[in-house]
Each structure stands twice: as structure tokens, then as C-alpha cells.
Structure 1
Amino acid sequence: MTWGLFAAWAVHDAEELATMARWTATARPRLQERFPQVPDAVWRRMDLSQREVNTAIGLMAGVVAAASAAGARTGGRSPFFGTVLFGFGLHGAVHLAQSAAYRGYTPGVVTAPLVVIPYSVWAVRRLAASGIPVGGGRPAAAGLALFPVVAAGVQGLARLLNRR
């Protein structure tokens, strides 16, 4: 179950890997028109090369693999594993909200309801059945707070690593 987090993440991020760079390039004009109040500097950060996407996904692979390993070592009791598991489930819900707001396809929205959310719910239920609480209290708060920090961090590091 703990390594299932990494497997579910890999399936989900394969979709993002295949679509993210191309989608950001084609979606940007539509988003700029819809949200003219957003400064150009913010829109420029949305420009992602395939190389940056590859690097960011590779960096996130390290985070998710480390969390899965921590979960495996502790029988799912690792706070790190629980936080990443909960954050991964939230990530799936964020994909659905993004696509609803965009009113169309966004990278990751296909695997979010088919892989991310079902795996996350199953894993949390399996842990709960074993007496291991996940999804409330500290893991929920940490997952909610750290998800955007980690996502922005790996994206920023990927951009930095790929500067020419």
C-alpha cells in the first residue's frame, strides 16, 4: 500500500509529463484574456519548457519515493508518508477544481479522478482499518500548507537547474 503512493503518482505524473509544457503554451493566451489583472511577470512564470517539466517531475519523484519508503519502513505510520499521502489526495481535488475553473482540460485531470483520488481514499481507509489515522489534524494541515510550497519549490528549482 505504501509503495502504491509512488505507483499512483507515477501514473498521474506521466499524464502531466506528456501534456504540461504544450498545455501551458496554448492555454496562456486564453487565461491572460480571462484574467487581465494578472501581471505579465506571473504569466511569464507559466512558460515551461519540456526540460523544466521533466526536471520538476524528477525532483518530485524523489519526494514521493522518499515518502513511500518512509511509509514502507514504518508500516504506514510515518508522519511524512501520511502528509504526502494526504497532500496527494488534495492534489487530485485541485486538478478537478482547476479544470472546472478553466472550463476544459488541464494537465493531470484525467488521472486525478481515475487514479489519484481513488488510490488516496483507499490508502487512507486501509490505514484507518489498521488503526493508523491519516487525513485529519496535523497531516491534513501540513498537507494543505506544504503542497503548494513543495510544488512551487520543485518548479523553482527545476527552472534554476535549467537556466542556460
Structure 2
Amino acid sequence: MRTLCGAPNGHEICAVPQKSSGGGHRYDFVVSIEPSGTRIAAVALFAAWLVHDVEEVFTFPATSRLLAARLGTDRVVVSPAQSGLAIALMGVLVGAACVRGARTQGKSRLYRAVLAGLEAHVVTHVATSISFKSYTAGLITAPLVMLPGARVARAELLRGGSPLLPSDTVHGGVLLFAAAIVSHFISRLFLGAGCPRVRIPRT
């Protein structure tokens, strides 16, 4: 008989085999009050996302104006209120994914997709700033906070024997892109009247 362990609620529970007085065997259940590594990693991932998106809440409206000038249309401009609502909606998705990850020891497909997508999203932040040749929303905390948080979560999955796969990154990229579009659509639907209009220089 061997010790059986699991962490259904983020806390490790082990069934330890013991010999009974009658010569048979029984299991003693031992519950660890320490959170599992995956739970800690999931919390770290959400905390990193939260810090990163606080930066985006305050800076995305300015970045949207840069994008509007480049595209020649003010349809992409967002107000601070719209930015805040869209990011809050994304937070629901990220938070739900992290809860699922903690409860399933990182086996949740939603958690794996969101984790891989957030990690890859760091590259898009850097690439966007290079393209614009200026600061864009989220650039500071993407490599300094979001990337380390994602790497901690990735390392925990590897340690647990279920490393992220390239397919997780593909699924995560598609999921987060679609979620961002839907979040901004909803924010415009509810707060569209407050969207500022900017003058686009004619060339």
C-alpha cells in the first residue's frame, strides 16, 4: 500500500496507509494547511496580471489615440471609463482561470490557455512599442511583472509534470484576443456616449 495524495481545493490531502490492530490496513487522512505550489503560482499569476493592468487602465486611452492617428480614424479611441470597464471584464476571465488552475492542480485547459496567452502577450507589448517607437500601454509592467508571474506559473506546471505545450499558447492567444475584442465591444456598448473624439491630422 502506498500514500495517495491530491489537492482538490488547493490544499494537499494525503491518505497514509497504517496497520490496524487486527492485522489489516487502514488509511489515515492528513490534510496539509499549506497551500499547494499550483495554488501559489495561480495567485502569483493573477497578482502579476492585476499590477500590469493597473498600468494599462491609466495609459491605454493615450495609446488608443496614438493608434487612431496612425490609422486615420478616431473609432479606436477609448475613454478612461471604457478602458477601466474593458479591463475589469478581462479580470473576470483571468480570475476564473486562476481559480480553476488552483483547484485542478494546473490541469484546467482554461488556466493553461490564459497562462500561456498572458506570457505571449508580453511579446506583443514590446513589439507594439517598437512599432510605434514610443511608450505604449503596459510596456513597463509587461516584462518586469507580468512575465515573471507567468514564468513562475509555467515552472510550477513543469515541476508537476504537465508542462505548457505550444498548443496552449495558440489557444491562449486566440482566447485572449477574442476576449479583449468582446470586452471593448461591451464597454463601448455601455459607455459609448462618453467616448472622446480626437482630431486626426490630414495628410
TM-score (norm 2): 0.70
Higher RCO (C-alpha 8 Å, min separation 6): 1
Q: Judge conservation of contact 1:124–1:135 (CA < 8 Å) in 2.
A: no
Structure 1 residue 54 displacement after superposition = 0.9
For residues 61-72 of structure 1, the aligned pairs below 5 Å read 61-72=91-102
Which residues of 2 match residues 10-89 of structure 1 at below 5 A? 10-25=50-65, 28-29=68-69, 31-32=70-71, 40=72, 43-89=73-119
Offset at residue 77 of structure 1 (A): 1.3
**Residue identity (%):** 33
CA distance in 2, matches of 1:8, 1:155: 21
Cα RMSD (Å) of the superposition? 1.6
Q: Distance in 1 between matches of 2:171 and 2:54?
A: 26
| Matching residue's letter, 2:121 | H
* Aligned-partner Cα distance in 1 for 2:142–2:163: 23
- Written as runs of structure 1 = structure 2, the 5 A alignment for 1:52-131 is 52-131=82-161
Deviates more, 1:116-125 or 1:70-79: 116-125
Structure 2 counterpart of 1:156:
185
Q: Paired residues, what number?
A: 153
Q: Secondary structure at the match of 2:164?
A: coil
Shift in Å at residue 27 of structure 1? 5.6
Structure showing the higher helix proportion among its residues: 1
Runs of 4+ in structure 1 over 4 Å off: none
Q: Which has the larger radius of gyration?
A: 2
The alpha-carbon deviation at position 45 of structure 1 amounts to 2.7
- Structure 1: runs of 5+ lacking an equivalent: 33-39
